[in-house]
Amino acid sequence: MNNKKPSNARSIIAHVTLIILSFMCLFFFYILLINSTRSHAELQKGFSALPSSHFMENFRAVANDGTFPMLRGIVNSLIVSGCCAAICTYFSALTAYGLYAYRFKLKNAAFTFIMMILVMPTQVTAMGFLRLITKMGMYDTLWPLIIPSIASPAVFYFMYSYLQSSLPLALVEAARIDGSGEFHTFNRIVLPIMKPAIAVQAIFTFVGSWNNYFVPALVLQSKDKMTVPILIATLRGADYMNFDMGKIYMMITVAIVPIIVVYLFLSKFIIAGVTLGGVKE
C-alpha cells in the first residue's frame, strides 16, 4: 500500500509533463492546420483555436496560383526525395556490403576515408560543387540534388553496423556455393535481410532531402524547378498586409502532408529500426 501512493504521484507528474511537452510540440501544427481553413480576413482578426470553412477555397487558390507553383514544387520535391532515398539506401547498402563481406588490401583505409567524409560539412564544399555542376551543365536542374546522395557516409555506417549484427558471412558463402553470382547474392539474399535498415534510412533520407534548403537554394533558379522549401522561402518576400495569409498557411500544410504520409506508410519499419541490432537470435 505504502509504495503505491508515491508511484501514483510520480505517474501523474510524468503524465502532466509529457502532456505539456506534447502540447508544445503539436500546438504549432494544430494552429497551422486551423489557419489553413481560415480566410485572410479571419486571420487578420486574430487568433482562433476553432477551424473555419475556407479550406477548399484556400486549396484552390494554392493550386491555381501561377507565380507560386506549389503543386509543381511538391512534384519536384517528391521526385528529388524519392530518388535520393532510393539510390542513397541502395548504394550505401552496396558499399557497406562490399566493405563488410570482402577482404582486400586498403579495406581499412577505405573505411577510414569514408568516415572522414562524414565530418565534412556540405557548406565547405559548396563553392566547388556549384562550379562543378555549372561546368557540367547541370545548373538549374534537379540532378545535382539527386546524384550526390549516392555517397552518404552516415547511411553507409548505419548499414555497416546493421550488417555486422545480422548478416553471418556463412550466408554469403552458402549462396556462392549454391551458384549465385555476387550481384545476385546482394540483391536476392543481402537486400531482403537488410530491409529494416533500408526502410529506416529511406525515411530519414527522404525527410532530410525534403527539408533540404541549402543546396537547392544554390542550384535552382526557375520557379518550375523549385522544391517545396525554396518555394515557401520565396513567400518571405511577400507583403503580409496584402498577401492572402490563408493561402500561405495552406501552402505550408500541403508541404508537410507528403512527409506525414511517408511516415505513416513506413512507421512499422521505423519502430523496428529503432531497436535494430538490439536483439540477436
Partner 1 sequence: MAEVSLKGIKKIYDNKVTAVHDVNLEIKDKEFIVLVGPSGCGKSTTLRMVAGLEEISGGELYIGGKLMNGIAPKDRDIAMVFQNYALYPHMSVYDNMAFALTMQKVPKEQIDKKVREVAEILDIAQYLERKPKALSGGQRQRVAIGRAMVRDPKVFLMDEPLSNLDAKLRNQMRAEIIKLRSRINTTFMYVTHDQTEAMTLADRIVIMKDGFVNQIGTPQELFNKPVNLFVAGFIGMPVMNFFEGCRLLLDGDKYYAEIRGVRFELDAFQQKTLKSNGQKPCDIVCGIRPQHITVGEGDLTATVEVNELMGSEYNIHARSGDDEVVMVIPTVGLATDVSMGSRINFTAHSDLIQLFDKESGNNLIWYDAGSAANNAPVCKDYPF
Closest distance of CB 195 from partner 1, Å: 8
By beta-carbon proximity to partner 1, the closer residue of 101 and 154 is 101
Q: Which of 98, 86, 280 is nearest to 185 (CA)?
A: 98
By beta-carbon proximity to partner 1, the closer residue of 15 and 107 is 107
Closest distance of CB 213 from partner 1, Å: 38
Give Cβ neighbours of residue 151 (< 8 Å, ≥ 6 apart): 91, 117
By beta-carbon proximity to partner 1, the closer residue of 44 and 165 is 165
Cell triple for residue 80?
A: 528529388
Contact, 179 vs 126, CB < 8 A? Answer: no
Closest distance of CB 97 from partner 1, Å: 15
Contact, 124 vs 60, CB < 8 A? Answer: no
By beta-carbon proximity to partner 1, the closer residue of 181 and 267 is 181
Residue numbers at the binding site for partner 1 (CB under 8 A): 168, 170-171, 173-180, 184, 189, 192-193, 195, 281
Cell triple for residue 53?
A: 470553412
By beta-carbon proximity to partner 1, the closer residue of 88 and 175 is 175
Contact, 34 vs 51, CB < 8 A? Answer: yes
The residue ranges of DSSP E strands in 118-208, in sequence order, are: none
Closest distance of CB 140 from partner 1, Å: 43
Q: Give the whole-angstrom CA distance, residue 141 versus residue 215.
A: 12
Reduced DSSP (H G I as helix, E B as strand, rest coil) percent helix, strand, coil of the chain, to 5: 75, 0, 25
By beta-carbon proximity to partner 1, the closer residue of 140 and 173 is 173
Closest distance of CB 99 from partner 1, Å: 17
By beta-carbon proximity to partner 1, the closer residue of 200 and 226 is 200
Closest distance of CB 175 from partner 1, Å: 8
Q: Give the whole-angstrom CA distance, residue 82 versus residue 203.
A: 10
Q: What is the DSSP string of 77-135?
A: HHHHHHHHHHHHHHHHHHHHHHHHH---TTHHHHHHHHHHHHT--HHHHHHHHHHHHHH
Closest distance of CB 168 from partner 1, Å: 6
Q: Give the whole-angstrom CA distance, residue 78 versus residue 92.
A: 21
